[in-house]
Amino acid sequence: MKKHLIDTFPFNEKRSLLTLVENRTSYSFDSCELNLFETHQTVENVNLVFDHFVFTSMLKGKKIMTLPDRPSFEYLPGESVILPPGELMNIDFPEAEKGNPTQCIALTISDEIILDTVHKLKELHPKEDSWGDWDIDPSIFHMNNNFDLADAINRIVRITKSEKGKIKDIMIDLTLKEMLVRLMQTQARVVFESSYNQLAGNNSLAAAIQFIKTNLRNNIDLGKVAEVACMSRATFFKKFKESMGQTPAHYILKERIKLAKNELKNTSQNITAVCYSCGFENLSHFIKAFKQETGYTPKSFQTSKTF
């Protein structure tokens, strides 16, 4: 899966290096606080805690993070971690050094804007009964960024750098709400990716995803997918996009790309054979879509030693 990165922050004119360990600069707004962290030396057992819900995203370098009652894990660029208020983070920085610091952002977000965003989604865009509900799930705390989530975070950083006056708070609030929606959509994808087989019997979205995954190598009629979900085509498309953050067609494309990546790395098939065995009907479309999603052509991906 391609990880989507957040722009490295060039706030040099506003930042003074206070310490080599977790140097922190904060930018406060009505509904959130943007914290920018840099660590300039290898260090272990750094503790950090926030009073509000916090969304963090790695920019550069690597952390080893340990959370209460959870095993330690590597935290890498292109990934995000969310934590409830008061959750203690214990962090090691195995690669940080002066001139090549580890960089991370942390957004602490007010309860009011989270509750308001969730309430509006439930009121204006309710999910189907079996599809779960709009909410942030703290159990899904470590995830890869997708393009839309990374883009929303990048815009919050850009607004912080470029806008002036009270308009900045308004723009931050609007973009923050979008980021929260993208976060909930990302979590929904994590849930259904990991448990669609178990949920398919009584969850129409999981049943649709199961049908898609079972038929990736074949031509998939989206009208048939909507039937599996027991919805009209128009309703299914609308609800799928709201819940998952992407259209059914784009979801199918991304799943076929994932299948193709596995085939390219684990079989001796040539590019053309992989194209058609993974449900694509046109070689040039396959190559273009693969590069768009992964940043590599199928051939360069197949021959690379780094995946």
- CB distance 302 to 265 below 8 Å: yes
What number is the average pLDDT over the span 268-282?
95
Q: How many helices (H) and strands (E) does the chain have?
A: 10, 10
Match 């995203």 to its residue by tokens.
57
pLDDT the model gives residue 25: 87
pLDDT at 11 over 90: no
pLDDT at 20 over 70: no
- CB distance 144 to 78 below 8 Å: yes
H or E element in which residue 120 lies: helix 111-124
| Mean pLDDT of the chain, nearest integer | 90
pLDDT at 102 over 60: yes
Would you place residue 163 in the very low, low, confident or very high pLDDT band (cuts 50, 70, 90)? confident
Q: Amino acid identity, residue 197? A: N
- CB distance 293 to 278 below 8 Å: no
pLDDT at 174 over 50: yes
- Taking each helix axis as running N to C, give the angle between helix 283-294 and helix 248-266, from 0 to 180 degrees, rounded to the nearest 10: 90
pLDDT tens column, 29-87: 999 999 989 998 898 888 888 999 999 999 999 999 999 999 999 999 999 999 999 99
pLDDT at 137 over 50: yes
What number is the average pLDDT over the span 162-177?
91
Q: Amino acid identity, residue 169? A: D
Top mean-pLDDT range of 7-11, 100-104, 117-121, 157-161 = 117-121
- CB distance 235 to 125 below 8 Å: no
What number is the average pLDDT over the span 136-155?
92
- Which homologous superfamily does the CATH classification assign to the domain defined by 204-303? Homeodomain-like (1.10.10.60)
pLDDT at 130 over 60: yes
Contacting residues for 154 by C-beta, under 8 A, at least 6 apart:
6, 7
pLDDT the model gives residue 162: 87
The pair of structure tokens assigned to 138 is 């703290």
pLDDT tens column, 207-216: 999 999 999 9
pLDDT at 90 over 60: yes
Q: How far is Cα 143 from Cα 52, in angstroms, rounded to an integer?
A: 20
pLDDT above 70: percentage of residues in the chain: 92
pLDDT at 169 over 70: yes
pLDDT tens column, 223-248: 999 999 999 999 999 999 999 999 99
The pair of structure tokens assigned to 24 is 């922190």
pLDDT the model gives residue 14: 41
Q: How far is Cα 136 from Cα 187, in angstroms, rounded to an integer?
A: 8
Helix (H, G, I), strand (E, B) or coil at 190: helix
- Taking each helix axis as running N to C, give the angle between helix 167-199 and helix 147-162, from 0 to 180 degrees, rounded to the nearest 10: 170
Higher-pLDDT residue of 184, 14? 184
pLDDT the model gives residue 128: 83
Q: How far is Cα 286 from Cα 295, in angstroms, rounded to an integer?
A: 13
What number is the average pLDDT over the span 147-161?
92
> What are residue 100's phi and psi, to 5 degrees?
-145, 65
Return the domain boundaries, the chain: 1-127+134-196, 204-303
Helix (H, G, I), strand (E, B) or coil at 81: strand
What number is the average pLDDT over the span 176-195?
93
Match 């008061």 to its residue by tokens.
86
Helix (H, G, I), strand (E, B) or coil at 160: helix
Q: Which fold has domain 1-127+134-196?
A: Jelly Rolls (2.60.120)
C-alpha triplet 273, 293, 121: angle, nearest 5° = 130
Q: Are β-strands 53-60 and 63-66 bridged in parallel, bridged antiparallel, or unpaired?
A: unpaired
pLDDT the model gives residue 247: 96
The model's pTM: 0.84
